[in-house]
Chains A and B, each alone.
Chain A
């Protein structure tokens, strides 16, 4: 705990630096471990060493030559991007209404979003499994995109409406005084100002869809729509007697890359998005 108003002495800086190191080790060791495994050769993968003794790219070569992984990667990217796009568009519209307009039913909308945010997803798996089989959506992209949109919408609406409240609304009023309709004010004035918030929300929604495992494994049965997290649990080696540790690790590293990129480049935005307007009660 910081001493309030204390001076920035070298000793106190050193103490904070030490704490920084603890946090960095905490956060990165499990990630570095799977990176290390992915570069180990078949001969050394069970040596238990944290750093590979022999480095190889064989594991990466292997996963990119199997359709199992490549197809899953395409599914993951396509499904997450489409779900993000739709959720953000719908969420933006709803969040604008929630943040700015006065209408009956606002409470109900917020209540429903909140319920869904807290909803145990496994409770939806049983009925969706049956309904999607009946509708022919089982094991298809839309079959996963729909639940992803649904569970991403509360996140999108909350985050976006928090961002929207920060926008200088005098501009909207000015636009209206100049004769713009509410819809024009939304499209021409507010949308450009809201872009950073929308972008942040898109990252959060993408991370959510990219991360999902329960729906992915329950609502797919073949390579047609299986995403990488689900495909990982079906990985076997080239033959069933081969240990798949190396290939699983390589695939795991590949799907971690987008997350690392987001975190490195948009740290500020993500933190702002996750904490925006949180708990002012």
Chain B
């Protein structure tokens, strides 16, 4: 996803000049609202109402297998979920996978961004193939990894784990899930970082080189500080995205052997178990967790919220 800022006050002022103050202004407003209304309506209708409904559902006992027992139970569902060991196992699996994959992606993504940005030969080729993991359907890639690690069938299983079934072992499974996730999403991280790299002025690097800074010092002392906003935004987006991991786990293990993420657990309770009350409770809890992550990034690390003004709101 690409992120843009709203026009700065100066740009807006420039846009305003040369227009008649009142009548033209009102026409402009009306046009703007007309143009935005359909998009805003769809977004609010498909997310706003369901979220409110989700909170309402989470306060009820509502199991589609026993619809007659539907009743308002207050926070009981939250007590059930939050005292359930599977919820916490899934929660920590999700947190662990998020931290590990995003950290690895940051390092690999930075390397890949450098290659895409600076390669003397084959820059177009590198950029093209990099988009393959980004664009490929996650489920397709997940099947590729699953078959690769299946005993007998797979080239990776044959090479690295002969006579074993890595996808039936908890830690091997988690490692493979992380591998699949890293492979698929590193290019996206790299593209966001490349946008940041493009902002590092060459003169600055040249000046640093003349002052005797070696490559590593130029990287840590010049590039990283200039790229910091880009890095933070890339981390924010990838962290939120990693937290909702679903496709890879679903295909690779189905959540067996304690590899469920919170999304898998919610899906299992909802679609397999048909327990709407519990499913909605987990939905709300995941939403809260994501909100906390976003809040920490924006308030604590000072990530510029994508789309916010340059002046900032803080």
Chain A residues proximal to chain B, CB less than 8 Å: 1-5, 8, 12-13, 16-17, 19-20, 23-24, 26-28, 30-31, 33-34, 37, 45-46, 48-50, 90-91, 93-94, 96-107, 109-131, 146-147, 149-150, 153-155, 157-159, 161-162, 165, 169, 173, 181-183, 207, 210-211, 213-214, 217-218, 228-229, 232-233, 245, 248-249, 252, 255-256, 259-260, 262-264, 267, 270-271, 273-281
Contacts and interface: CB of A to CB of B under 8 A. Distances in A.
A12 B152 contact: no
Contacts of B119: 16, 19-20
A24 B129 contact: yes
B132 interface: yes
Contact of A279 (B29, B31, B141, B304): B304
B10 interface: no
Contact of A102 (B28, B42, B126, B310): B28
Q: For the side of the interface on B, what is the size category?
A: 35 or more
A99 B38 contact: no
Nearest to A128: B50
B6 A110 contact: yes
Nearest to A27: B129
B121 A161 contact: no
Interface of A is mostly: helix
Nearest to B133: A27
A88 B286 CA distance: 29
Interface stretch (B11-19, B78-86, B99-107, B166-174): B11-19
14 contacts: A28-B132, A37-B153, A97-B35, A101-B35, A102-B15, A109-B36, A109-B40, A116-B43, A122-B244, A123-B51, A127-B51, A210-B137, A232-B143, A278-B306
Interface in B129-157: 129-141, 143-145, 147-148, 150, 152-155, 157
Contacts of A267: 124, 127-128, 131
A122 B286 contact: yes
A209 to B, nearest CB: 11
Contact of B284 (A123, A157, A214): A123
Contacts of B199: 279-280
A94 B36 contact: yes
Contacts of A91: 39
Contacts of A279: 3, 192, 195-196, 199, 229-230, 233-234, 304, 306
A122 B263 contact: yes
B243 interface: yes
Given A158-B1, A211-B138, A249 B118 contact: no
A100 B215 CA distance: 42
Interface of B is mostly: helix
B233 A249 contact: no
A126 B120 contact: no
Return the 6 tightest CB-CB contacts between A and B, nearest first. Answer: A281-B304, A277-B4, A127-B50, A103-B32, A275-B195, A101-B32
Contact of B122 (A17, A26, A150): A17
Given A16-B119, A48-B158, A256 B244 contact: no
Given A112-B40, A281-B308, 11 more contacts: A20-B115, A20-B126, A27-B132, A31-B132, A94-B36, A102-B16, A127-B49, A149-B46, A260-B135, A274-B188, A277-B4
Contacts of A210: 137
A129 B283 CA distance: 12
B270 A162 contact: no
A48 B153 contact: yes
A154 B148 CA distance: 36
A34 B284 contact: no
A124 B205 contact: no
B307 A113 contact: yes
A6 B47 CA distance: 53
Given A23-B126, A33-B147, A271 B153 contact: no
B158 A248 contact: no
A30 B42 CA distance: 37
A276 B51 CA distance: 31
A158 B3 contact: yes
B270 A129 contact: yes
Contact of A249 (B7, B143, B198): B143
Contacts of A107: 6
Nearest to A103: B32
Contact of B246 (A100, A122, A274): A122
A4 B114 CA distance: 13
Nearest to B243: A120
Contacts of A110: 6, 307-308
A217 B9 CA distance: 45
A182 B27 contact: yes
A269 to B, nearest CB: 11
A159 B2 contact: yes
A165 B276 CA distance: 45
Given A30-B183, A214-B267, A273-B2, A114 B306 contact: yes
B44 interface: yes
A276 B129 contact: no
